[in-house]
Each structure stands twice: as C-alpha cells, then as structure tokens.
Structure 1
Amino acid sequence: MPKSFIESYTFEKRQKLWSNIIERELAVVLVAEGDEGLSGFLCFGQPKTLKGTDVYDLSSIYIDPDKIGVGIGQLLYDKCENMLRTLNAEKVSLWALDSNERALNFYTKQGFTPTGESNKEQADDVVLNDIELAKVLSA
C-alpha cells in the first residue's frame, strides 16, 4: 500500500471511524490486550446490503507487527467464528489485497477460498487489487 495513502489515514480519522462503529454498534469489535496494551483487533458484522441474511463480513483484522506469529490473529479469528456460529451465520466473507501473501495464507488456513470477485482501487499512482474470499459456516 502506498506510504502516502497510509499516512493520510491519520489518528484523528481512525479515531472518528472506530468511535462511530463502536458507539452506533455497526459491527462487533474483538480486542486482544496484553501486558503492554493493545495487541490486535478484529471487526465483523453484516453490511447494509446483507442485513437480515445469514451472511457476515470480516471487515478488519489488525495485529501489532511485533506480535505477528504468536497466535493473536488465530485467537481473534476463533472467537469471531464461534460468535458467528452462535448467530447461525451461513457464510463469512472478506476482502484482501492480492499482494498480501501473509494475510491470504492466514485466511486460506482458516478455510476461506476465493470467490472470483475482485475490485481495483487507485491510491496515488498505485493500483490496489482486492480479492474476495469466503467461508461457508453451515453444512
């Protein structure tokens, strides 16, 4: 992702976004904390276009770079999937950059497969290719 795009996503913008999501209960936010503070988070919910269905969207997962590889992402995802199964969710989907091999490997390990849907975004002079992955939860 272009550095200028990341830098334009200021603390104030992120704070406003996440405050809105949490205060208005637009999604479920799971947080992993350790002795040193926040280690990671995961966010999921139902997009407006899918309200009233059994389809959910995993919209965000972030792990502190110093904590990647120690199982925090797995713990957050396991909790998410358990909650989705309790809600009788039929399917969960997500979008990921096609160049993010670490994330794609993680999602594949969880049972996600590409749906064939893709989306291109322009960020400065860089084209970002997003692909959709999904996992069926109910038999």
Structure 2
Amino acid sequence: MLLRAATPEDALGVARVHVRAWQTGYRELLPHEYLANLHPEERAQRYDFANDDPRRPKTIVAIDDDAVRGFATIAPAHDSDTTDDGELCALYVDPDRWGQGIGIALISAARNRLIELDYHYARLWLLVGNARAARFYRADGWAPDGIVRTETIWGVSVDELRYRRSL
C-alpha cells in the first residue's frame, strides 16, 4: 500500500470510496433514499486536489492494486472557538478493505502531517450514532470534548459530536 498526497487524477477514486463508505457505514444513520442517490461522478467534481493554499484542505490517499482504497483529509480547524487546532475533516476506507489496517495508516499519516504543520491539537466531527468510527477514534486517543452541532452534509441535516486529541 502506498500513501501519498491526492492529485486531481484521484478525484473519482476518492469519490468512489467516499460514496461507498457512506452507503455502507451510514445505512442505519441516514435515509436509504438519500444514500442510494449518492453518485461518485457528482461527488468527484467537488474536490480540489490541485490547490496549494495551506489554508485549504489537503488529502492523503491510500493506493493498493492501482486504486484508491481510502483517504484522509486535513485542514486548519474552522470552529469559532479554535485558533490553532488542526482538523481531521474526513477519513474513509473502501468497505471491502475495512479491518486491513488502511484506516490506521491513514490516521497516522494525517496526524504526522498536522504535526508537520505545527498543530499541537486536532479535532474531528463524528456523526452521532456512528459506533464503529467512535471505537476506531477512541482507540487512537481521540475523546469527545462535549461539543455537539447540527450540520448539513450533502444536503442532509445530522448531529455531530466533536472529538479532540493532542498531537
């Protein structure tokens, strides 16, 4: 498996992983009709992997068998109560590859990149009820900090719990 920065050519592969992970991981948390209508081709158009602005999200991809098998996206945290935290904006692995260490490799690479960017703390937002992801993040040293928000993601309103950890 190769971990590297995403390029514009990775957009469709990242979108395929993103959509499949949502359709599998959130099937008990989001409406079926909504998940069934997610399309990688549409999602791929939203990514901007060519932007070099350090204030913009950066994505790391996991490549295996010449295909994107997972990705992690980091950025400066955008919460109003933060001044210098980094954020893990997304971490998704193709459901066919769950349990094979890809998520662990990606979260480690994301943490290392946040440290390189001189962040001392990181945060992420987790969909309330996502027990699998909560176990994964807790095992990696993340903990809820008590902040909850309602967010609209891809047009669906969801409740999210913020997690934080030191780097």
TM-score interval w.r.t. the shorter chain? 0.7 to 0.9
Q: Name the count of aligned residue pairs.
A: 132
* Among candidates 63, 78, 92, match of residue 122 of structure 2: 92
AA aligned to 1:92 is A
Q: Distance in 1 between matches of 2:120 and 2:139?
A: 19
How far residue 96 of structure 1 moved from its aligned partner, in angstroms, is: 0.7
- TM-score under structure 1 length normalisation: 0.82
**Identical pairs, percent:** 28
Secondary structure of 2:118 counterpart: coil
1:24 alignment partner, one of 37, 45, 51: 51
Q: CA shift at 1:24, angstroms?
A: 2.6
Is 1:15 aligned to 2:39, yes or no? no
Q: Which residue of 1 aligns with 2:165?
A: 135
More strand by share: 1
User: Structure 2: 5+ residue runs without aligned partners?
Assistant: 1-29
Tell me if 1:3 matches 2:66: no
Q: Which moved more, 1:3-12 or 1:25-34?
A: 3-12
CA RMSD of aligned residues (A): 2.4
Question: Which position in structure 1 is the counterpart of 2:145?
Answer: 115
TM-score (norm 2): 0.69
* Residue identity in the other structure for 1:24: N
Residues 144, 163 of structure 2: 8 Å contact kept: yes
- CA distance, structure 1, for counterparts of residue 76 and residue 152 of structure 2: 26
In the alignment, the residues of structure 1 paired with residue 57 and residue 152 of structure 2 have an alpha-carbon distance, to the nearest angstrom, of 26
Which of 88, 96, 105 in structure 2 is aligned with 1:58? Answer: 88
Letter in 1 for 2:107: Y
Deviations 1:53-88 (A, max 9, x none): 431111111100010001000001111111112222
Q: Is the 8 A contact 2:77 2:84 kept in 1?
A: no
Taking the aligned partners of 1:73 and 1:64, their CA distance within structure 2 comes to 10
